[in-house]
Each structure stands twice: as structure tokens, then as C-alpha cells.
Amino acid sequence: MSAKLSLGARLYTGETSVDFVGRRRTWYIMSGIILLIAIAAVGIRGLNLGVEFTGGAVFTVPQSSCSVEDARTATQSVIGGEPIVTQTGQDIIRIQTEPLSQEQNLAVTSALGEACGINSTDVTVQSVGPTWGAEITGKALQALVVFLILVVVFLSIYFEWRMALAALVALFHDVIITVGIYALTGLEVTPATVIGVLTILGYSLYDTVVVFDKVKENTRGITGQSVQTYSEAANLAVNQTVVRSINTSVVALLPVVAIIIVGAGLLGAGTLLDLAVALFIGMAAGTYSSIFIATPFLAQLKEHQPEIKAVSARVAARRSSAAKRGGGTEGDETTAVKAGVASTTALAPGERQQPKRRPRSKRGRG
């Protein structure tokens, strides 16, 4: 019967198990390397802040017959500096410069119109001061602080403070990775990027709460038994939810990929790209952290509690005693752990759960 079960069913019942919690040092090292690279990228390369944060002027030339180099040369002839010129669509050229005066804006639009063979009134200009960007940054930081406070309060009430701390570690893990990739790739950071980062915080939290809820269910009454440790029960919870987490993430990432390919790639909508890239990176990192970081870190915190240490000691003593007696092997105990100690596994219809009878030759022995 077990051969007919799907991988998800085998993971749920414990027949197949991946040691996510027990191999936490491996996941910590992997994440540590990624985080170091991300932090180094931000410190060395910095972020490519958009005009909304640094201030400046953006000229958009629609349906032009000129090249990017022509637009750069025409702009340089007026301002003398080095503008940032990109082609965002099939016929749309975007020129970003430092803050300019009204006279300079008019001169640049005239030069671009002449170079690209269009009327200068068709060239749109967007001037942004750095004060507006600073205000947006401040509002984003305020929203982040309020969000984190609410997360801590909610998780501490619904679960406990250790779960709240583990969830925060996973959140910061996801944000640092996302920011680091933006620094490495040089992608422009815009207000849409900030919105995307704030959005992935909620997604990452949702994925972590799903796993933690199963951990809470599996560890209810854990201190009153001597069959499995807290880490083993938590690891079973991760195995029981890993397929759901991956499936949910894949379904959520598909429309994001569609936005990147169709909206940004084919239609040239830069704002969609800014938002979609942040969502894609954050969702992928959130799925990883909820499985490989949040729960292993939670188990590590719980293992420092005296009552959880006592459970681990009783489990070790019982398995050692069973192995010495020969009446029950350590493998039998491991099988019971993988099966979820009956509280998390449903019996098949008509199946009775009975203890194994000892052979006659071993009956009456101590």
C-alpha cells in the first residue's frame, strides 16, 4: 500500500522524511554565505536608486527614429553631464539626468526633438525633487516598523515569543537577500520596488505561520511523553507542509513571471518590472526561509528550555533501554516518530492499532 502513496502522502505520514531540522547547520551556512554576499554587495556597489529618491529629470521620447546614442549625445550637448539613457520599449527612449532648471528642461526637449525627428512637445518631462523621495523612504520605514510590531504581538499571542523571534529572523533573511540581489544586478530601486518588498513580508510571514501552526499541533503535550523530541516533532511538521508550501509558491510565482516576461519584457512597462522582480525574489526567498530557517531556528530556541531538555533526555534513555533489552529496537522508535506518534497519522479503514506481541521465546525475560 505504501508504494502507491504519493510523495506528499509519504512525507505527511512520516514514511519518507527529510531531516530539515537536524541539518540546520548546513542551511545556516548556506544562508550565511548568501547573506554575506548580499550585505557586501550593498556596501560595495550600493543601490541604484531611482530618480524618485535622488531627484532629477526624466525625459521620455516616444516613437523615435533615433538611437540611444543619438539621444545621449543630444542631451549631453545641453547639460554637459552624463545622462542615463535606456530603451524601455520598441520605440520608447528614457533619459534620466540630474535636477535641471526650467530653461534647461526646454533646451533638452528641443535638442531631443531635433535629434529624433519629432516635435519637441511630444517629449515628456518629469522633474522630481529629492525631498519627495526622502518622504517616501520615511513612510516606508514607518510602515515597516508598524508591521514588525504587529507581527511580534500577533505571533506572541497566538503562538509564543520564540516563534515570533524565529519569524522575524526569516523576514529579515528574505529582505536582505532581496536588497542584495538588487545591489548585485544594478536594478533600479523605485517606489514600486519598496511596495514589492513590503508585500513579500506579508507573503513570507504567511508561509511561516502555516508551518508554525503545524508545529504547534504536533508538539501539543510534548512534555508528557517520551517517544519523540521537540525537534523531531517540528521536523515532521515541516515535512507535512513542505509540499503545500512549494505548490503555493509555484502558483503565486507564475503570474509574477508572466508580469516580468509579458508586462516588462514585451510591453516595456518599467514599473511592472520594478514590482515584479521584488515579488519574485522575495517569494522564492520566503519559501526557502520558512522551511530551512524559521523552523530549525525555532527548534534550536526551544531546545534550551529545561522542560524540552528533559523530554530529549527521556527519549534518549527510553531508546537506549529498548536497544539493550532487545524487546524494542531503536529502529522501532524511529518508525514511531516518523509516523507522527499516532496523533498526526490517520489509520486506514478497518485497521486496528495494536501493540506488537513478543515472541514466545522472549516472554518472561526481564
The model's confidence at residue 121, banded by pLDDT at 50, 70 and 90, is confident
Closest CA to 210 of 158, 270, 153: 158
Fold for domain 10-49+132-307? Multidrug efflux transporter AcrB transmembrane fold (1.20.1640)
CATH architecture of 56-128: 2-Layer Sandwich (3.30)
Delimiting residues of CATH 1.20.1640.10 domain(s) in the chain:
10-49+132-307
Mean pLDDT of the chain: 80
Q: What is the pTM of this model?
A: 0.75
End-to-end Cα distance, the chain? 36
- The arithmetic mean of pLDDT across residues 93-118, rounded, is 85
Reduced to 3 states (helix: H, G, I; strand: E, B; else coil), residue 96 is: strand
- The arithmetic mean of pLDDT across residues 45-65, rounded, is 81
Compute and round to an integer the Cα radius of gyration of the chain. 29
What is the per-residue pLDDT for 302? 93
- Count the Cβ atoms, other than its own, within 10 Å of residue 233: 27
Closest CA to 234 of 24, 6, 25, 15: 24
Which DSSP state fits 292? Answer: I
Reduced to 3 states (helix: H, G, I; strand: E, B; else coil), residue 5 is: coil
Instruction: Give pLDDT tens digits for 306-339.
Output: 999 999 999 999 888 888 887 554 444 444 444 4
Cβ-proximal residues to 326 (8 Å cutoff; 6+ apart), any chain: 362
Instruction: Give pLDDT tens digits for 141-177.
Output: 888 888 888 888 988 898 999 999 999 999 999 989 9
Residue pair 125/105 in contact (Cβ under 8 Å)? The answer is yes
Delimiting residues of CATH 3.30.70 domain(s) in the chain:
56-128
